[in-house]
Copies of this chain bind each other. A is one copy, B any other.
């Protein structure tokens, strides 16, 4: 495969116009939108408006005048359209970790006789930490049981209260079959909680078709909401009346502005809210989500799979003998929107790549991650990225002291 073949794909790419809706720095090939999505062109102006015209000019009256109070639900419903939610099933607020805590606690309360939370050891650590912390807090003998992906089916027994999995694995990009695992969980009487951090906006998700119970996900990856953007939580409508949230803040109250002494949960997913909504962050997130709603998730998926397959092919063609192993699934149905390579010198190699303007990231102990964001990533960039990687390997420029120096954030 040669560069012109890839440049030709760019010419006919139906998603090409979307690149202009993002601000991307010159001289950078950005393969880390799975960690922090790029900046939408609309965001800076929208934030200036919220800051100057809403907060600055209309001050406290903006809660009504600019309907700030409705932002968590409005942005939630927009995200809902990307994940197969019905209107009124999705809310935005807090972090993914906090939303996991809420939904996991709610799910456990719906399966009071069961004590096992089932997950996998390679789940994103915060998911496991939150589950551990919740189990310790409840002090009812809950157990976080971790089994390898191949063993999950067999491990879904009648002891399991909740199966808690991340749809797309953060390190390898491995994609679970949402509908199949959810059905398996339900067949055993368990509930299904999906973490969509690496799915929402990247791969087609249909929570209701899969019959899932709860879900959470991230605003700052494929939704392009900005660093530390608020997260979302979703609960199937059938649970809205029964679910008990552990974080009973005033925005989850049936009548927050009645300032009652005792808590009464709001109807519906509103009870998943806790504190005052973060307006600036919500406005930024909405700009990112709006772009996705203008695109077709089927087109995004099609290009993503094409890009990941081409990237893997280029790695095989150009980097043979340099010690890389492709750890992402070759099978399209099992692959999210990234390709990860294992290499024993992964850390300095990634630092050398970043120094050359090819930005992916490193995950301990040995994974180089490359994420594909079809809305703003071109095909020819894949060729250029692999070419730079090849140069770094051939001239061993990765093996310089500055590339071995550890940063606070890897």
Listed in ascending order, the chain A residues whose CB lies under 8 Å from chain B are 23, 25, 28, 30, 32, 35-36, 38-39, 43-44, 47-48, 51-52, 55-64, 67-70, 94-98, 101, 105, 121, 124-126, 128-130, 132-134, 136-140, 146, 171, 220, 226-231, 244-253, 257-263, 274-282, 284, 354, 359, 361, 363-364, 407-410
Contacts and interface: CB of A to CB of B under 8 A. Distances in A.
A378 to B, nearest CB: 16
B43 A227 contact: no
A227 B275 contact: no
Contact of A250 (B59, B97, B171): B97
A129 B264 CA distance: 9
A178 to B, nearest CB: 23
A67 B47 CA distance: 22
B51 A125 contact: no
A67 B63 CA distance: 32
Most chain B beta-carbon contacts within 10 A, residue among A63, A220, A247: A247
B95 A275 contact: yes
Contacts of A245: 133
A327 B9 CA distance: 72
Contacts of A125: 250, 253, 259-261
Contact of A36 (B44, B59, B226, B249): B59
Contacts of A98: 94, 98, 247, 249, 274-275
Contact of A262 (B48, B132, B282): B132
